[in-house]
Structure 1
Amino acid sequence: MKNITYKAPKNNKEVFIDHAVDRIPDLAHENQQKMRGFKFEVNGIPFQILREKTREELLSMATNYTAGIQSLLLKRRSETCLYVRDSNQRDASWHKEQDKLPGKGLSRDHETIRDISIIQTGHEPILYYPGVWIKNHLTQHLAKRMGGVGVNMIVDNDACNMGFVYAPILSEDSATVQKVALVDRMDGVAYEEIVFGSPERMLTFKKEILNLLKTDAPDEKKGITFESMRVAFEEFIDRCMNIYYQGCTDMVGLLTTARRALEKDLGIDNLEIPVSWICETDGFYHFLLHIVYEAERFAKIYNEKLSEYRSIHKIRSKANPLPDLRIMGNLIELPFWTWKAGERRGKCYLMKEGTSLKVTNGADDLFVLGNSKEENIERLKALKDAKIKIRPRAITTTMFSRLFFSDVFIHGIGGAKYDTITDEIIAEIFSVAPPAFVTISTTLFLPFDTYNVNTEDLQALQRELTDMNYSPEHYVSGVAQNDREFIDRVNKKKRILEIMEASSKEEKKRYFDQIKALNTMNLNVIYAEIQRKRNEIDAAKIKLAYNEVIKFREYPVCIYPTKLLKEYFYDVFFGE
């Protein structure tokens, strides 16, 4: 297993990428060639046949979902809105099948989809920060360069633990980062379940953020910058409100559409597809069933690779980076979540009872495996009517995408670390070398000036203050230097230090107490110098805290001045 030690870029406008941009088109081609050589079967279907069918299914779904998202950005409300939250809600009148991929001019025939390069990335449907958003820019850049298709996977099956944004508070005498919730943390509830019953939460969110985007410092330049941030955020949240009033009330659709509008201004037109939609394809059903039948073997390999990862990275906790899959006699935990619409996510298991195989949530049976692939697929499809959902976990999400859909997957740093585990599982389960992936991140600071002070400067000041306490005679100044009592104490300290060199341990302790008493008296002489040093330290801490707020990486792109985003992201890859 690779020991990936990637770290987020520290400097402004610094990009971390592995592999180099110029190398990625060849990497995608190598992945294509590699996967064309795969000979294994999935749920009894040859890999090549299932991959080609799945690519057609998912590109069709992504085209339809993206068309629905785009329809929410119409200026005239009287025009038809094609957006639906759930793929199961579509009907024949919802969308006419297109012959070409929208905006690409590419045919949707079998041969084109089989051979075209699909560049994929993915993230939770949250308010992206620049280090995440750069994945979408790279996806667009590569799709255009390679004549391919860029697809962003909306990971709406994740638990809604990131329903907030960070905002800076920059007052004249302090600086902090404030967390502001768009939705309250909903442990175990997936993003796809979050719906706004009224616009009040967004209006409150707007007010809270705007109240933070200001400063009491009499700095005209800073005031202008904050005003441009307020304008950018107001435009973003007002767009969200407009989308809401068009009938899109779910969190995923709202934030995805608002992000798409921002991306449109920067020339990004990747397709979008939620994981919840991916899970309604035959390709995903076959993948799920393959793992169900291989449940015990998969769980053992999964746990073994997690253990190896923990060992390499010296992680003691059994819950990190992911918990093991439990094997409890005839009950085997599956790498999927399950829940009923509107409820919390729960674990999913395979239960063996004699010759019978059941998929269960631990309390209720979801379905019993039948004797044929067709029968099992139909039973999975029937779960939709009962509003029962089965979704992949982190590793099975990217495993499915990398094997059955994309030619190259673009990760952030966190995802790349975890996908070293996925690589090992793919290699073990399917006996193939996994397709390579790309990792990218960036850092973009808010456009405020920072103080010329760093941690090393603060540490030097703190060391100096410590030395003042141990050697106050080195810091005395002015008339105190000629004070007879002060001079006598300094000379006495020198004599004691000379005597201590040849003293026993017990004698040294006695002499040390004498030196401590002399230092205490001499400290009174340099009280003003000590106070000045403490003030310097306090000032350095305030400046460092201010710098940290400016250099914080995870502010959402919707509060950055639009001009800054365009200046940076337009040219970010042309220097590579």
Structure 2
Amino acid sequence: MDPDWNDVPCADRQRKTRPGEAAEPGYLAYRACSDNHSALIEPPLGDAELLLKGNLDRQLSSFWAGLRTQSRAQLLGDARQYTSAYRDVPGATQTATTPRDSTPIVMAGHQPTLFHPGVWFKNFALQRLGGDLGAHAINLVIDNDVAAGRSIRVPMRDAIGRVYFSSVHYDEGGAGIPYEQAKIRDLRQFDRFDQEVRHAIAPLVANPLVSELWPHARAAIRRCEIAGCALAQARHRLEADLGWQTLEIPLGVAVRGLPFARFVMEMIDDAERFCQVYNDAADHYRAWHGIRSTAHPVPNLGREGDWLELPLWVYGNDHPTRRAVWVRRHGGQIELSDRRSSETARRSLLLPADDRDAAAEVLAESASPEFKLRPRALMTTMFARLLLSDLFLHGIGGGKYDQLADRIICHFFGVTPPALQVVSATVRLPGQDRDPERPHAMQVLQSRIRDTQYHGELWTQATAGRRQPLAQRKRELLEQMPSQGSRAQWHQDITHVNRELAAELQLQRQEMQAELQRLRLEASEEQILASRELSFCLFPRQDLVAAFEQMLR
């Protein structure tokens, strides 16, 4: 670690809690907006220029300034080359930038999935900021995460009109391994995905975006054969059709070469202290938020004998399941290993212990189809924020958990964490907004139903017929409540009157229960039809673009 990265102590420059936020400095609360067509942008988009300037003005040591220059040059060259494989890119013939290239880089990232519109809105904000700030806008495709199921949920109605979620698949299987390893298994199913989605969503949306997206996906899957790659490239190609000017690069490409290896060596060379800082940060986050699970937000790094766990994964084409990376100093060398019991499957690497630069070169040159070293979540964003970009846009989850990364950056590297922005949005299917009055109406009905069972005397109808003397008897009993001694007879009398009144109000109660059941069914259907988690490809393009434009005004 170079102690001269920043000459201002971290403790003096932690982010402060805003008025009304019950959080320690550095732990801001981010929540999705409940209103349709509403965005969370924190700090506001108008602050982006100041945030960028503040990040650029940080005083860096010569080592870290040089590593940033090297990282950015490689990133821009690789991103141009990668993106130009499937869409037009201005300046694509430039394989790298010169050391004097001072154009800022704004960056965002997400897994290569058919995500909800709130995530896509982040990409829209990214390209807008790139233009407004005169910056390179680059989206980092997080392809080292474990691939989820290969389907999207589509709201449908059955033969009798009940709403439910139906899963429409674009492939079979594929879960349990990283996105960059998950090859397509059923090309025919992939090819007809858009047709099945259109059929499923037709009663709700006449012109879903999947019709424009999927021709690009069919072309992409034949280039790369990887499902996640095809989805990301198709979405990015669609963004080109919309005029969005951004570059993209998979994380697996961005971490190739010397810059990432040198960054990793900063932690390997002081692994004991790094693991302590990492675990202390995770423990602090859990304690502050009252989280009991040791798996959230991230598990602590382990220690077994002289082995220390690092926040890295390793895997390869023959063995695509992610394995934790461990490090130890042994016999004058640094050994990295996944510590498999089988020598034939074990991945390990020896690095010189007395020459950090030479060790970084060995680490960089070790990359191969069978040795893919990848950062875990917090390490990914530390690398992206410290070395690759000048301003990073997170979603809600990333914004929450990267405050843990801020503590690691501060206490291990001794640097003020670069400012970031959190961007997300809520967009619902056309005509499927939530009814704000329904929850209150349900509460009122529940209260009135309970009153018919235990407080029948409160009903205005209980003033005529047989109910009137029962109500009068209830009032008398309440006025004559025994102050001490046995109340058994009094309780028995009250219970008897309540039952008699409840029997008299049975018809009204049944009517209200039926109305409550109807409202509950509507609320259940609303949870499906008005979900903010539906894939962006289910929406009409013009509706999404108009909503995005409106939310950035």
TM range (shorter): 0.7 to 0.9
- Which string of whole-angstrom CA distances, capped at 9 and with x for unpartnered residues, describes residues 382-403 of structure 1? 4334621110001110111111
Match for residue 484 of structure 2 among 501, 504, 509: 504
Q: How many angstroms does 1:536 deviate by?
A: 1.4
Match for residue 494 of structure 1 among 468, 475, 485: 475
Q: How many angstroms does 1:311 deviate by?
A: 1.3
CA shift in 2, pair 1:452/1:295, >3 Å:
closer
Q: How many angstroms does 1:348 deviate by?
A: 0.2
Q: How does 1:468-479 map to 2 (within 5 A)?
A: 468-475=452-459, 477=461
Tell me, yes or no, if the aligned pair for 2:258 and 2:364 is still in contact at 8 Å: no
2:42: which partner in 1? 18
2:118: which partner in 1? 131
Match for residue 439 of structure 2 among 436, 443, 455: 455
Structure 2 length normalisation: TM-score?
0.88
1:391: which partner in 2? 374
Looking at structure 2, the residues matched to 402 and 392 of structure 1 have their Cα atoms a distance apart, in angstroms, of 14
Q: How many angstroms does 1:487 deviate by?
A: 3.5
Looking at structure 2, the residues matched to 107 and 358 of structure 1 have their Cα atoms a distance apart, in angstroms, of 34
Q: How does 1:339-418 map to 2 (within 5 A)?
A: 339-342=315-318, 343-363=320-340, 364=346, 366-370=348-352, 371-373=354-356, 375-385=358-368, 387-418=370-401
Q: How many angstroms does 1:181 deviate by?
A: 4.5
Q: Could you say what the CA RMSD is over the residues aligned between the two structures, in angstroms? A: 2.5
CA shift in 2, pair 1:512/1:185, >3 Å:
farther
2:289: which partner in 1? 313
Q: How many angstroms does 1:467 deviate by?
A: 0.7
Looking at structure 2, the residues matched to 439 and 482 of structure 1 have their Cα atoms a distance apart, in angstroms, of 61
Q: Which moved more, 1:134-143 or 1:488-497?
A: 488-497
- Secondary structure in structure 2 of the residue aligned to 1:352: strand
- Secondary structure in structure 2 of the residue aligned to 1:565: helix
Tell me, yes or no, if the aligned pair for 2:32 and 2:396 is still in contact at 8 Å: yes
Looking at structure 1, the residues matched to 314 and 277 of structure 2 have their Cα atoms a distance apart, in angstroms, of 22
CA shift in 2, pair 1:468/1:376, >3 Å:
same
Looking at structure 2, the residues matched to 348 and 187 of structure 1 have their Cα atoms a distance apart, in angstroms, of 21
- Secondary structure in structure 2 of the residue aligned to 1:226: coil
Looking at structure 2, the residues matched to 7 and 162 of structure 1 have their Cα atoms a distance apart, in angstroms, of 26
CA shift in 2, pair 1:62/1:494, >3 Å:
same
2:105: which partner in 1? 118
- Secondary structure in structure 2 of the residue aligned to 1:101: coil
Looking at structure 2, the residues matched to 449 and 192 of structure 1 have their Cα atoms a distance apart, in angstroms, of 35
**1:566 is aligned to 2:545:** yes
Aligned AA for 2:437? V
Tell me, yes or no, if the aligned pair for 1:159 and 1:188 is still in contact at 8 Å: yes
Q: How does 1:22-37 map to 2 (within 5 A)?
A: 22-34=46-58, 37=59
Q: How does 1:270-281 map to 2 (within 5 A)?
A: 270-281=246-257
Aligned AA for 2:81? N
- Which string of whole-angstrom CA distances, capped at 9 and with x for unpartnered residues, describes residues 194-241 of structure 1? 1113413325644653443144xxxxxxxxx52223xx3233234322
Match for residue 268 of structure 1 among 244, 248, 254: 244
CA shift in 2, pair 1:512/1:414, >3 Å:
same
Match for residue 522 of structure 2 among 537, 543, 556: 543
Aligned AA for 2:91? L
- Secondary structure in structure 2 of the residue aligned to 1:350: strand
Looking at structure 1, the residues matched to 108 and 170 of structure 2 have their Cα atoms a distance apart, in angstroms, of 24
CA shift in 2, pair 1:315/1:185, >3 Å:
farther
**1:338 is aligned to 2:314:** yes
Aligned AA for 2:518? A
Structure 1 length normalisation: TM-score?
0.84
Q: Which runs of 5+ in 1 are unaligned?
A: 41-45, 72-97, 216-224
Q: How many angstroms does 1:264 deviate by?
A: 2.1
- Which string of whole-angstrom CA distances, capped at 9 and with x for unpartnered residues, describes residues 521-551 of structure 1? 3323222211111111112112222332233
- Secondary structure in structure 1 of the residue aligned to 2:138: strand
- Which string of whole-angstrom CA distances, capped at 9 and with x for unpartnered residues, describes residues 171-211 of structure 1? 67433344445456655410000111341332564465344
CA shift in 2, pair 1:336/1:8, >3 Å:
same
Aligned AA for 2:307? L
Match for residue 156 of structure 1 among 140, 143, 152: 143
1:425: which partner in 2? 408
- Aligned pairs, number: 520
**1:196 is aligned to 2:164:** no
Tell me, yes or no, if the aligned pair for 2:81 and 2:92 is still in contact at 8 Å: no
2:232: which partner in 1? 256
Q: Which runs of 5+ in 2 are unaligned?
A: 1-24, 341-345
Give the percent of matched residue pairs that are identical in Structure 1 and Structure 2.
26
1:53: which partner in 2? 70
Tell me, yes or no, if the aligned pair for 1:54 and 1:281 is still in contact at 8 Å: no
Q: How many angstroms does 1:344 deviate by?
A: 0.3
Tell me, yes or no, if the aligned pair for 1:332 and 1:351 is still in contact at 8 Å: yes
Q: How many angstroms does 1:283 deviate by?
A: 0.4
- Secondary structure in structure 1 of the residue aligned to 2:152: strand
Q: How many angstroms does 1:166 deviate by?
A: 2.6
CA shift in 2, pair 1:505/1:270, >3 Å:
farther
